[in-house]
Structure 1
Amino acid sequence: MSGTVGRRPTELAELVRAEDRISFLYLERCVVNRDSNAITATDERGTVHIPAASVGALMLGPGTTVTHQAIALLADSGSTVLWVGERGVRCYAHGGGLARTSRLAEAQAEAVTNRRSRLRVAREMYAMRFPGEQVSELSMQQLRGREGARVRRVYREQSERTGVRWSGRTYDPEDWEASDPVNQALSAANACLYGVVNSVIVALGCAPALGFIHTGHSRSFVYDIADLYKAEITIPTSFDVAAGDCMEIGADVRRRVRDMVHDGNLLQRCSRDIRRLLLGEQEADATDDIMFTDNVVLWDEYLGEVGAGIAYEEPS
């Protein structure tokens, strides 16, 4: 047997930070392979090369076949891979991540399991949606009511702006064609946003399931964070697409969301917002230098942390 056990893993310093990558890439009906440090997508039209380290989230739609080497490269590059459904409107599985520390995951778990800190984070999330308004004393019921009114207002304003008729958010996950064009666009746009947010959450080492406003779902935290940006990105984009004369709503929405995510520096904003929500403003800035540092230690009930990799002796 050969003594070679695989290529050298990429050093952390060589990896591109989550906020500096392209947001997402959606592929369907092609073969995804690897060529050196790039992944390739091949169909009847030819082959496209994509630098793996520059991809935040790779969304694999129906009809895709991916090789072991391609997945190994994406994992080594810290890129999140998502297996999604037709038009990208469902997420079946994901994997990947950049973080080498559990600092944010521990802060998230601590905050979500304490009623007071969970309420604080939830209020801060709502405060980000209501700039200039005082929400620090409002209950969750009051905040939900205010958010509901805000979302209805946003839909109404976008309908008036574009001339697209709006009769409410209705969609059937089992029947894409049953929805009107604007609801189809919203479903596809939100799926893209969820993929981008999921890639940032996983890259930072947080748990997608531990939400503060949403709960009980494997992607509760994804929905929490994505809701911060819908009124700015997916809702106006969806109404613009529905107002146009496009042949393929899903493809058009994905392109427009991709451009808005890039132009609005959403990856950087999302990373900063998550750190600030979980750690506070001052500590969030300090985590930039430690997020990608290998730091394995052992827990001690009295000392907190002690060194790992040491053959400890039983105290006499």
Structure 2
Amino acid sequence: MGGDYGPPVTVAGALAALDAHPEIHVTFVGDPDQISTEIKNHRAETDRIAVVPSDGKISDDEHPVAALRRRPRSSIAVTTHLLKSGAADMAVSVGSTGATMAASVFALGLMEGLERPCIGGNFLGLAPDTTVIDLGSNVDCRPPQMVSFAALGVAFSRHYLGIQSPRVALLSVGEEAAKGNRQVQDTFTLLEKSHLNFVGNVEGMDFFTDKADVIVCDGFIGNILIKFAEGLGSVFRPFLQRQLASTFPEGAVTRITDAIWQSTNLPRTMGGPLFGINGLVMIGHGSSGPEGISGAIETGLLCHRIGLVNGFRQELSRLDMAIMLESGE
């Protein structure tokens, strides 16, 4: 029921994924009348579709935990409990990220050794093999948490992107070990002592220089990065359209500018998994259109097929907890 556009978009996108994958079943959670109306509009009645009723939704301006307590039958709460019960293999949400995270932790639990879940992945088409973590779920992170996030990023890089020995770097304002704020410097020390293939600090331009496969930052920086990229793509597309209109045919201009927008707006079209949860929960962009919903399902199907959740557990189990506790925090 969440997202900027609600059932008209989520139903259309899920039905597109259903058509593309005859092996899957889709359960819609929410207001049965609204959902059934949309299904009928697409003439998509089939035994591969189920509708489970819920009561209300949690909006972005609400405190996630308090809202979940007030509305334990909200659409995201019911969805995560369906996953916990085994009635589903993955969940997809484009609603409140905070509510999705909180509901997932309550219903499914965190993996051993983690204090918080996080969001990561490859968010730039111009750097398709670079995993960035955290992309916005934790704006305040202690150094041990950032090391555990790095391990999750390594698992994603290895299992999802096929990079066997991912190089881990820390995003900072300079390559030198002494650069950065206290959080970065303390995290640097812990990463050096970890089992991870840590290559040091990188700077903002290094998303495109192939110096690292996994770049670690806190969610405050990560969310700024992803929103900046989205905004740049959105303004660059019309700018290029104006500049190229007198030189190239309209169709060629559209192909070029659409490719640039897609490259800077990957989260809107593919979604990504919530890292560190004992279950597969996919988070899509709130402003996703139908292609974003179907894209999040496509990404989730691949994550399920490669056993990404178990990959997360395996990488976390290799972390030396004694090193993690050395910071004394």
State the TM-score, normalizing by the size of structure 2: 0.25
- Structure whose CA Rg is larger: 1
- Of structures 1 and 2, the one with the larger relative CO (CA 8 A, separation 6+) is 2
State the TM-score, normalizing by the size of structure 1: 0.25
